[in-house]
């Protein structure tokens, strides 16, 4: 159950970030939107491989070592909840900052697509 919950949360967060990025990019016409989207998707591969896969592997190892019936919220560690709180706070601050949305879309799309890609490990373990 924890594999499903973790995978679903990563997919949901990734979809939300990608949706916001595409919404911002839809306001721009021409090749510039494609350039920003392509850059974000390229960054997602790097973020996925060098960042999120280590986090997923740590979580999978921790979940697989749990012997008794775990708490529903133990799909990530308590330390990760603090990291998550900081990431959400920074995301909100960036979204309300003066940084142009097309540049933020690269970051949001990169992280969002990387979350979706990385969630596949949770869902693969579930199956």
Q: What is the pLDDT of residues 76-100, one digit of tens each?
A: 777 878 888 998 999 999 999 999 9
Closest Cα to residue 23, out of 105, 96, 100, 91? 105
Q: What is the pLDDT of residues 53-62, one digit of tens each?
A: 898 888 888 8
Closest Cα to residue 120, out of 59, 53, 66? 53
> What does the alpha-carbon distance between residue 112 and residue 40 come to, in Å, rounded to a whole number?
9
Quick one: pLDDT band at residue 23, thresholds 50, 70, 90? Answer: very high
Inform me whether the pLDDT recorded for 27 exceeds 90.
no
pLDDT of residue 58: 87
Chain Cα centroid distance, residue 89: 14
Inform me whether the pLDDT recorded for 68 exceeds 80.
no
Q: What kind and span of H or E run contains 110? A: helix 101-126
Closest Cα to residue 110, out of 33, 29, 17, 23? 17
């Amino acid at each position: 159950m924890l594999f499903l919950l973790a995978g679903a949360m990563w997919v949901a967060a990734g979809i939300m970030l990608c949706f916001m990025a595409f919404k911002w990019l839809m306001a721009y016409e021409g090749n510039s939107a494609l350039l920003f989207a392509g850059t974000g998707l390229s960054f997602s591969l790097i973020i996925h491989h060098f960042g999120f896969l280590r986090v997923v592997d740590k979580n999978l190892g921790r979940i697989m070592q749990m012997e008794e019936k775990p708490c529903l919220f133990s799909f990530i560690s308590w330390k990760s909840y603090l990291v998550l709180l900081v990431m959400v706070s920074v995301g909100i601050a960036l979204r309300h900052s003066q940084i142009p949305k097309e540049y933020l879309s690269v970051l949001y799309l990169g992280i969002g697509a990387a979350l979706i890609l990385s969630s596949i490990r949770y869902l693969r373990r579930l199956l």
